[in-house]
Amino acid sequence: MGHELYCAGHLIQAGVALARATGDTSLLAVGRRFADLVDESLGSDDRMDTDGHPEIELALVELYRQTAASRYLKLADTLTARRGSGIFAGGRFDLSYYQDAEPVRDARSIAGHAVRALYLAAGVTDLYAETGDKALLASMLRQWDDLTAAKTYLTGGVGSRHHGEAIGDPYELPPDRAYCETCAAIASIMWNWRLLLVTGESRFADLLERTLYNGFLSGLSLDGASFFYTNPLQSRNGERRHRWHPVACCPPNIMRLLASLHHYLATTTDGGVQLHQYATSTIRAVVPVAGPVELAVETDYPWSGSVTVEVVACGDAEWTLSLRVPGWARGAVVDGRPVAPGYAELTRRWRPGDRVVLELDVSPRLTAPNPRIDAVRGCVAIERGPVVYCFEAGDLPAGANLADVALQTDTAPADSGPLAPPLGGLPGVSVAGVARDLDGWAQIEYVDVRDAPRDGAPTRVQLLAIPYFAWANRGDGGMRVWLPKSE
């Protein structure tokens, strides 16, 4: 029920990564011996067990890719297929915590411990990629629809409950009690990447982006030296990232994702190159119809929405350059021509020196939540491009209380220029609001709605918002992503 095979999975992945990056196979050999032991211990149906904390599934599929030894793929399938048979009955938590309440192929929703559920989903998607078992993909798409329709925070964070570190009920998304473990964000990024690979659909790259810039990145301090385990969207008294955690999954997981971030930028198909995430980079690929292709991407994304792609080298044949237009983008253009969210596909006989410019409007915007989310009904948040913003108590006008301010939605939020150190360079956003004087409410009390309101007259204020991921870098104080709309 614990983390033994989860740790084995990370060890195996580390061995594969080391071998691919450096050619050193010493750690791969250790991981392989471990995988062999797991196969000998659990692979046959004499012992109907599986892992209590998924992660080894995606490691076993990767080990199969690295070694071509089919026993690892079969073991991943065996461990997956046994779920849903009540193996973990009698544990500290119910069966859904361990993804053991129903068979993976039958699941209609996603539930239980968020990190466990999302690592399993990533592993199952890998299994589909190698086996083509359509029931696995169908289950993954049902679970993804359930997760994104009703169980994902604005930041891309997953996990509404501290109890059981669990995904909550539909629309149970409290900003203050959010668990949103950094590892759950990373697991979601891994899962969405795999779904993108097997479907080619931009919605998976969209959620990957949302999670990357927000629910994942908030896990790390701006100086790179301290870490959040949980990533709430509201804090009344402020939080401090810690330099280490007794359960030390998140800090090295952040390092792993940052160290492998370049792998998430682009893919190839037989007919072209697809750019999914935008960063200044050189991209080299072999496109079967056109031979070696080299692209130079130049951008200040996500702070600017302008992305320039130059073809540095390519063959003579026609091929397709696909640029992702994020779902949040309105009025996007490629070389001056309007393009809709999804992939803008540019098919031509490219020549070295050809340039394409994608323009995305990243001006700040107000975002409303689904009205079924009780905890933030009547609130709005600010986003700028793919970046979610928040308000910190220390930025409020003198005398205002973060618990008592509201946003005016009749004027658009606007860029307010670069923020001061330690947030130097990040764009701030200014928005009109009101601060109320709630001194008339001396204590928590519940009053007859027919009585006269006790709020003092609201005062107009100008509020400053900063990127959510950068919160808790300037000392203590409360933080909110969602603020009520002023009446």
Active-site residue set: 165, 249
* Contact stretch for Zn ion (CB under 5 A) within 46-54, 178-186, 367-375, 427-435: 178-186
Nearer to Zn ion, 248 or 340 (CB): 248
Smallest gap from residue 245 Cβ to Zn ion (A):
8
DSSP alpha helix (H) spans, 86-181 = 114-131, 134-150
Backbone dihedral angles phi then psi of residue 334, each to the nearest 5 degrees: -115, 120
Which 259-318 residues touch Zn ion, going by CB under 5 A?
none
Q: What is the 3-state secondary structure (H, E, C) of 25-76?
A: CHHHHHHHHHHHHHHHHHCCCCCCCCCCCCCHHHHHHHHHHHHCCHHHHHHH
C-alpha torsion sign, points 184, 77, 33, 26: negative
The count of chain residues that interact with Zn ion, using the rule CB under 5 A, is 4
State the Cα–Cα distance between residues 121 and 115, nearest whole angstrom: 10
* Contact stretch for Zn ion (CB under 5 A) within 52-60, 136-144, 150-158, 174-182: 174-182
State the Cα–Cα distance between residues 176 and 160, nearest whole angstrom: 10
Backbone dihedral angles phi then psi of residue 3, each to the nearest 5 degrees: -105, 15
Smallest gap from residue 8 Cβ to Zn ion (A):
17
Smallest gap from residue 202 Cβ to Zn ion (A):
28
* Contact stretch for Zn ion (CB under 5 A) within 77-85, 128-136, 182-190, 196-204: 182-190
State the Cα–Cα distance between residues 181 and 231, nearest whole angstrom: 6
Nearer to Zn ion, 252 or 288 (CB): 252
Smallest gap from residue 265 Cβ to Zn ion (A):
24
Nearer to Zn ion, 181 or 359 (CB): 181
Smallest gap from residue 184 Cβ to Zn ion (A):
8
* Contact stretch for Zn ion (CB under 5 A) within 206-214, 247-255, 326-334, 413-421: 247-255
* Residue 104 binding Zn ion, by CB under 5 A: no
Residue in 167, 178, 183, 375 binding Zn ion, rule: CB under 5 A: 183
Smallest gap from residue 115 Cβ to Zn ion (A):
6
Mapped onto helix, strand or coil, the DSSP state of residue 284 is strand
- DSSP letter (8 states) at residue 236: S
Contact flags string 191-230 toward Zn ion, x per CB under 5 A? ----------------------------------------
Nearer to Zn ion, 254 or 381 (CB): 254
Nearer to Zn ion, 66 or 218 (CB): 218
Which 443-462 residues touch Zn ion, going by CB under 5 A?
none
Smallest gap from residue 253 Cβ to Zn ion (A):
6
Do the Cβ atoms of 234 and 482 come closer than 8 Å? yes
Residue in 140, 212, 250, 293 binding Zn ion, rule: CB under 5 A: 250
* Contact stretch for Zn ion (CB under 5 A) within 57-65, 154-162, 243-251, 323-331: 243-251
Element (H, E) at 193: helix 182-199
Do the Cβ atoms of 231 and 155 come closer than 8 Å? yes
* Contact stretch for Zn ion (CB under 5 A) within 12-20, 151-159, 181-189, 232-240: 181-189
Nearer to Zn ion, 246 or 424 (CB): 246
Nearer to Zn ion, 186 or 356 (CB): 186
Contact flags string 127-166 toward Zn ion, x per CB under 5 A? ----------------------------------------
Nearer to Zn ion, 220 or 249 (CB): 249
Question: What is the number of residues in the chain?
Answer: 487
Do the Cβ atoms of 62 and 12 come closer than 8 Å? yes
Mapped onto helix, strand or coil, the DSSP state of residue 485 is strand
Q: Which of 290, 95, 125 lies closest to 193, judged by CA?
A: 125
Smallest gap from residue 425 Cβ to Zn ion (A):
29
Mapped onto helix, strand or coil, the DSSP state of residue 159 is coil
Smallest gap from residue 227 Cβ to Zn ion (A):
9
* Contact stretch for Zn ion (CB under 5 A) within 90-98, 117-125, 175-183, 436-444: 175-183
Backbone dihedral angles phi then psi of residue 258, each to the nearest 5 degrees: -65, -40
The two structure tokens encoding residue 289: 């119809």
Mapped onto helix, strand or coil, the DSSP state of residue 257 is helix
Residues linked to residue 357 through DSSP beta bridges, in sequence order: 308
* Residue 187 binding Zn ion, by CB under 5 A: no
Q: What is the 3-state secondary structure (H, E, C) of 367-436?
A: ECCCCCCHHHCCEEEEEECCEEEEEEHHHCCCCCCHHHEEECCCCCCEEEEECCCCCCCCEEEEEEEEEC
* Residue 249 binding Zn ion, by CB under 5 A: yes
Nearer to Zn ion, 130 or 239 (CB): 239
Smallest gap from residue 80 Cβ to Zn ion (A):
22
- Burial zone of 464 (CB within 10 Å; 0-12 exposed, 13-18 middle, 19+ buried): middle
Nearer to Zn ion, 47 or 243 (CB): 243
Sole residue written with tokens 């992702």:
324
Do the Cβ atoms of 315 and 290 come closer than 8 Å? yes
| Contact set with Zn ion (CB under 5 A) | 181, 183, 249-250
